[in-house]
Amino acid sequence: MVEHFVADFARLIASEPDQIEVTREDIDPDFSEIIVYANQQDVGKIIGKDGNMINSIKTVVSGCKAKDGVSYRILVKPLDERPK
pLDDT, tens digit only, all 84 positions of the chain: 889 999 999 999 999 999 999 999 999 999 999 999 999 999 999 999 999 999 999 998 888 776 788 899 999 999 988 887
Residue 27 belongs to domain with CATH number: 3.30.300.20
Q: Are strands 31-38 and 21-28 parallel, antiparallel or unpaired?
A: antiparallel
pTM over 0.85: yes
Amino acid at site 69: G
CA-nearest of 84, 81, 83, 65 to 1 is: 65
For residue 44, the enclosing domain spans 2-81
H helix or E strand, kind and range, residue 21: strand 21-28
Whether 22 and 35 have beta carbons less than 8 Å apart is answered as yes
On the CB side of 67, CA atoms within 13 Å amount to 8
| Domains in the chain, number | 1
